[in-house]
Protein backbone atom coordinates (compact mmCIF):
# COMPACT_ATOMS: atom_id res chain seq x y z
CA UNK A 1 0.00 0.00 0.00
CA UNK A 2 1.17 3.48 -0.76
CA UNK A 3 2.49 5.54 2.06
CA UNK A 4 1.81 9.02 3.26
CA UNK A 5 4.52 11.60 3.76
CA UNK A 6 3.73 13.42 6.95
CA UNK A 7 5.21 16.50 8.48
CA UNK A 8 4.13 18.17 11.66
CA UNK A 9 5.40 21.72 11.94
CA UNK A 10 5.03 24.39 14.59
CA UNK A 11 5.84 28.09 14.29
CA UNK A 12 9.50 27.76 15.17
CA UNK A 13 10.45 24.20 14.34
CA UNK A 14 9.68 21.08 12.39
CA UNK A 15 8.32 18.75 15.05
CA UNK A 16 8.17 15.47 13.20
CA UNK A 17 8.50 14.27 9.66
CA UNK A 18 8.45 10.87 8.06
CA UNK A 19 6.40 8.20 6.36
CA UNK A 20 3.11 6.96 7.72
CA UNK A 21 0.29 4.57 7.00
CA UNK A 22 -2.45 6.54 8.62
CA UNK A 23 -2.97 9.93 10.22
CA UNK A 24 -5.77 10.66 12.65
CA UNK A 25 -6.50 14.24 13.61
CA UNK A 26 -9.30 16.17 15.20
CA UNK A 27 -10.76 18.96 13.13
CA UNK A 28 -13.46 21.40 14.10
CA UNK A 29 -15.98 19.01 12.53
CA UNK A 30 -14.76 15.91 14.29
CA UNK A 31 -12.09 13.26 13.97
CA UNK A 32 -10.68 12.55 10.57
CA UNK A 33 -8.60 9.60 9.49
CA UNK A 34 -6.41 9.87 6.43
CA UNK A 35 -5.05 6.99 4.39
CA UNK A 36 -3.02 7.06 1.21
CA UNK A 37 -4.99 8.25 -1.79
CA UNK A 38 -7.14 10.63 0.22
CA UNK A 39 -8.65 13.49 -1.71
CA UNK A 40 -7.03 16.92 -1.26
CA UNK A 41 -8.37 18.53 1.85
CA UNK A 42 -7.74 21.59 3.93
CA UNK A 43 -9.19 21.45 7.41
CA UNK A 44 -9.04 23.62 10.48
CA UNK A 45 -7.79 21.71 13.51
CA UNK A 46 -9.47 21.75 16.86
CA UNK A 47 -7.40 21.43 20.00
CA UNK A 48 -6.43 17.84 20.43
CA UNK A 49 -3.89 15.30 19.41
CA UNK A 50 -2.70 14.06 16.08
CA UNK A 51 -1.85 10.38 15.85
CA UNK A 52 0.47 9.15 13.15
CA UNK A 53 0.69 5.43 12.49
CA UNK A 54 4.11 4.67 11.02
CA UNK A 55 4.72 1.76 8.60
CA UNK A 56 6.56 -0.06 11.40
CA UNK A 57 3.36 -0.11 13.35
CA UNK A 58 4.33 2.39 16.03
CA UNK A 59 2.22 5.40 16.84
CA UNK A 60 3.57 8.92 17.09
CA UNK A 61 1.35 11.25 19.03
CA UNK A 62 1.61 14.99 18.88
CA UNK A 63 -0.49 17.67 20.45
CA UNK A 64 -1.48 20.41 18.08
CA UNK A 65 -3.86 23.24 18.49
CA UNK A 66 -4.58 26.41 16.62
CA UNK A 67 -3.65 25.10 13.25
CA UNK A 68 -4.78 23.25 10.20
CA UNK A 69 -4.24 20.12 8.23
CA UNK A 70 -3.63 19.86 4.54
CA UNK A 71 -3.53 16.80 2.33
CA UNK A 72 -2.50 16.71 -1.30
CA UNK A 73 -0.96 13.91 -3.34
CA UNK A 74 -0.35 11.76 -0.26
CA UNK A 75 1.46 14.56 1.52
CA UNK A 76 0.00 15.41 4.86
CA UNK A 77 1.02 18.62 6.57
CA UNK A 78 -0.10 19.44 10.06
CA UNK A 79 0.58 23.08 10.78
CA UNK A 80 0.04 24.48 14.24
CA UNK A 81 1.28 27.47 16.17
CA UNK A 82 1.97 25.20 19.07
CA UNK A 83 2.76 21.63 18.29
CA UNK A 84 4.84 19.17 20.22
CA UNK A 85 5.32 15.47 20.54
CA UNK A 86 3.38 14.04 23.40
Partner 1 sequence: MGAQLRVYRQKIKSAQTTKKITRAMELISASRIQKAQQRVAASGPYSRAVTRAVSAVATYSNVDHILTTEPEKVTRAAVVLFTSDRGLAGAFSTNIVRESGELVARLTAEGKQVVYYVVGRKAAAYFAFRRRAAEKIWTGGTDRPEFATAQEIGRTLVEKFVQPEEEGGVNEIHIVYNRFVSVVTQVPEVVRLLPLEVVEGDEKPAPDEALPLYEFEPEAADVLDALLPVYIESRIFNAMLQSAASEHAARQRAMKSASDNADKLITDYTRLANNARQSEITQQISEIVGGADALSSAK
Q: Are 37 and 50 in contact (CB under 8 A)?
A: no
Query: Quick one: 14 or 57, whose CB is closer to partner 1?
Result: 14
Length, in residues, of the chain: 86
Residue 24 beta carbon to partner 1: minimum distance, rounded to whole angstroms: 14
* Residues in touch with partner 1 (CB under 8 A): 7, 9-14, 27-29, 32, 39-44, 67-68, 70, 72, 77, 79, 81
Q: Closest CB to partner 1 among 15 and 53?
A: 15
**Is 26:49 a contact under the CB 8 Å cutoff?**
yes
Q: What is the closest distance, in whole angstroms, from the C-beta atom of residue 10 to partner 1 in the complex?
A: 7
Amino acid sequence: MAELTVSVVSADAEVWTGAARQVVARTTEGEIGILAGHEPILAVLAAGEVRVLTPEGTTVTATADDGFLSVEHDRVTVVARNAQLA
